[in-house]
Amino acid sequence: MNVPVALSLALLLTACGKPDDFPRLLPTAQILAEPALPVHATVAATEPDAVEAAENRRAEALRARARELQGPVVDPVLRRRAEG
């Protein structure tokens, strides 16, 4: 057997995978169906105002933390050593 034919056969065999390698096909009805909400999202769907208020509080806390970190951050031990 010549080399190009052997190489072609070898490549052909390596391209053939297990049947599990191919993605599972879904029925069209399942693909087009409305997605189900995850359990953790039911509160947001039923009480959006409460979730928005909680997120606004968290955002404000993060903004306050960012304002605190805008100054120079120097370790207190390093500051004492530098001062004297």
Q: What is the pLDDT of residues 3-13, one digit of tens each?
A: 777 778 777 76
DSSP state of 71: S
Which of 4-18, 35-49, 50-64 comes out lowest in average pLDDT? 4-18
Q: What is the mean pLDDT of residues 28-52?
A: 88
Token pair belonging to 40:
């953790």
Residues 51, 44 contacting (CB under 8 angstroms): yes
pLDDT number for residue 1: 57
Do 37 and 45 form a contact (C-beta atoms < 8 A)?
yes
Is the per-residue pLDDT at 20 higher than 70? Answer: no
With a cut of 80, say whether residue 30 has pLDDT above it.
Answer: yes
The predicted model gives 24-41 an average pLDDT of: 88
Residue type, 25: L
CB atoms within 10 A of CB 54: 13
